[in-house]
Structure 1
Amino acid sequence: MRKAWLALLVAASVTPAFGQDKTFELKISHWVPASHPLQKSLEDWAAAVEKDSGGTIKGKVFPAQQLGKAFDHYDMARDGIADVTYVNPGYQPGRFPIVGAGELPFLISDAKGGSAGLDAWYRKYAEKEMKDVKYCLAFVHSPSSFHSRTKKIVVPEDVKGMKIRPAHATMANFVTSLGGTNVQSSAPEVRDIIERGVADGVTFPWGSLLLFGIDKVTKYDMEAPLYVTTFVFVMNKDKYNAMSDKQKAAIDKNCSTEMAGVVGEHWGKFEDAGIEKIKAESGHEVYKLTPEQTAQWKKAAEPLVKTWGDGVKKNGGDPGAALTELKDSLKKYNALAE
């Protein structure tokens, strides 16, 4: 009897107390520099999860493609190479057609409300479109436009004959429809391809233009809310499913529409601040469009809605209903462009 009691005491001293959660160390991966605002957003996200889990879920952020290439981040979360990843769905044309609605020109007016509106709308679609992973949240950066080295782009016809690195699949379709040629590359590679003449210009947000050094190789900057890029945070399903209910609740609390708005706002402020910095640089011409020129761009962009819709239909979706729902959600969060 005494031996049995001693054995229980020893066991209690080396094993967790009954009901205590297992500790998880999350590998959180992204592909922009550590100086990008996304780094802090992910560090803040990890800190919030750690606090809400009572310290049983910790996270370490790996920036700058340390764990894998930008294009691979969705599959990295699916396969467990990383536990949480930052994904640009538009890097893989045709794979995630529904979320591409957020990329349509002249649709989203700002980063914070646009992120919340996009996320609230996309949640039900993500269950099917991103079923290989646990969807966390979606967000956008501030509306952005063209930056070029060789030629000032003022009206849609100016894109004809140019080589453009597009932000995503929708902008790639736009460039093609205008008679331009697409040059595919991830964000960290853009400066190099423009410097070497492989591309003449890029669609890119303002603050990031400076961060990636692209301002050093471009000259003309269109100040117009032409497009945004959609992004998502996703998580490895097996890692999430291995957690306790309390730990899942901590993850879910921080994979929310409210958090999407927080991430979008933080990044949006960074991008917006870049406009004045570019204007202050010598050798840059920042220009706005007249109402007539803007009308030309909107007219030229109209076929993109049909192209997006055709992609959704191929995957069994209803593009008309989806786009109406997205606009209603953006309107709710005061982020529907006029």
Structure 2
Amino acid sequence: MSPRNASRATVALNLSEKFRRFVILVSIQSGWIHLSTLSEFAGPLHPWEVTPAIKLSELVRNHTEFVGDEALYTATIVLVMNRLKYDSLPEDLRAAIDAESGQKLSEMAAEVMWAKDARGREIAEDAGNSIVQLSEAEVARFKEKSQPVIARWVSEMEGQGIDGRALIETAKALIKDYGG
């Protein structure tokens, strides 16, 4: 697939995912569906920080948290710039960008997200919503259920000549070293 087609496919996937979430949220709000009808592991998956924007705590009364050393997912925040544009900047501007990006920017972004997470959770608590923290056994069950997806991704990467298992292990090590 060409980079242009891959980009179009990504946009289409993102739009279809956003539309799916929109339909689910509208359906919940309208009473057309109950979350338990969606799947064995029912409901949309969102970090606390986004829940105020979509008014999730007004739409549902029950929330589930994954607790422990590993979260269900990890957010990746990336600041990108066209290399040619960056190279064309004067040295002092490149130095300013370099000084304020990288690990420093990642840590600042994480602090902002954690603060927003705390506020989102607080809104749910203030609404009287139930917040269930999964037991270690339930977290292990989710991890077990995800293994076929991981195996399929590793296989797809191997088909492209990429060591997918090594990428996963590297990501886990980085999350352990730098994650929250």
TM-score under structure 2 length normalisation:
0.69
Please tell me whether the aligned partners of residues 188 and 212 of structure 1 are also in contact (alpha carbons under 8 angstroms). no
Q: How many residues align?
A: 158
1:195 aligns with 2:41: no
Computing the radius of gyration from Cα coordinates, the structure with the larger value is 1
Task: Could you tell me which runs of 5 or more consecutive residues in structure 1 were left unpaired when the two chains were aligned.
Answer: 1-74, 76-89, 94-167, 169-182
Q: 1:310 aligns with which of 139, 149, 155?
A: 155
| Whole-angstrom CA distance in 1 between matches of 2:160 and 2:143 | 27
Q: 1:310 to 1:290 in 2, by over 3 A?
A: same
Distance in 2, matches of 1:300 and 1:188, equals 22
Unaligned runs of 5+ in 2: 1-6, 36-42
What is the 5 A alignment of 1:179-218?
184-185=17-18, 189=22, 191-192=25-26, 194-195=28-29, 197=32, 200=35, 201-218=43-60
The match for 1:252 is 98
Separation (CA, whole Å) in 2 of partners of 1:231 and 1:187: 23
Q: Distance in 1 between matches of 2:72 and 2:133?
A: 11
Runs (4+) off by over 4 Å:
90-93, 186-191, 196-200
1:232–1:328 distance in 2 versus 1, CA, 3 Å: same
User: Residue 235 of structure 1 aligns to a residue in which SS?
Assistant: coil
Shift in Å, 1:308: 2.6
CA offsets, 1:106-157, max 9 Å, x none?
xxxxxxxxxxxxxxxxxxxxxxxxxxxxxxxxxxxxxxxxxxxxxxxxxxxx
**CA–CA separation in structure 1 for the residues paired with 2:170 and 2:140:** 25
Q: In structure 1, what is the equivalent of residue 78 of structure 2?
A: 232
**What pairs up with 1:52-201 in 2 under 5 angstroms?**
184-185=17-18, 189=22, 191-192=25-26, 194-195=28-29, 197=32, 200=35, 201=43
User: What displacement does 1:293 show?
Assistant: 2.0
The 2-side partners of 1:310 and 1:193 are apart by: 36
> Residues 62 and 131 of structure 2 are in contact (CA less than 8 Å); yes or no, is this contact kept in structure 1?
yes
Paired with 1:267 and 1:234, the residues of 2 have a C-alpha distance of 19
Deviation of the 1:222 alpha carbon: 0.6
Q: Aligned partners of 1:272 and 1:328: how far apart in 2?
A: 26
Between Structure 1 and Structure 2, which shows a larger proportion of strand residues? 1
Who is 1:322 aligned against?
A: 167
Contact 2:86–2:94 (CA under 8 A) maintained in structure 1:
yes
Secondary structure of the structure 1 residue equivalent to 2:118: helix
The structure in which a higher percent of residues are helix is: 2
| Structure 2 counterpart of 1:256, one-letter code | G
The residue number in structure 2 matching 1:19 is none
How much is the aligned-residue C-alpha RMSD, in angstroms?
3.2
- Give me the TM-score of the superposition, normalised by structure 1: 0.40
Question: Per-residue deviation at 1:227?
Answer: 2.1
Percentage of matched positions with identical amino acids: 20
Shift of 1:221: 0.7
Cα 1:186–1:268 change in 2 (3 A) is farther
Q: Which residue in the other structure is 1:220 paired with?
A: 62
Quote the offset at 1:188 in angstroms: 9.2
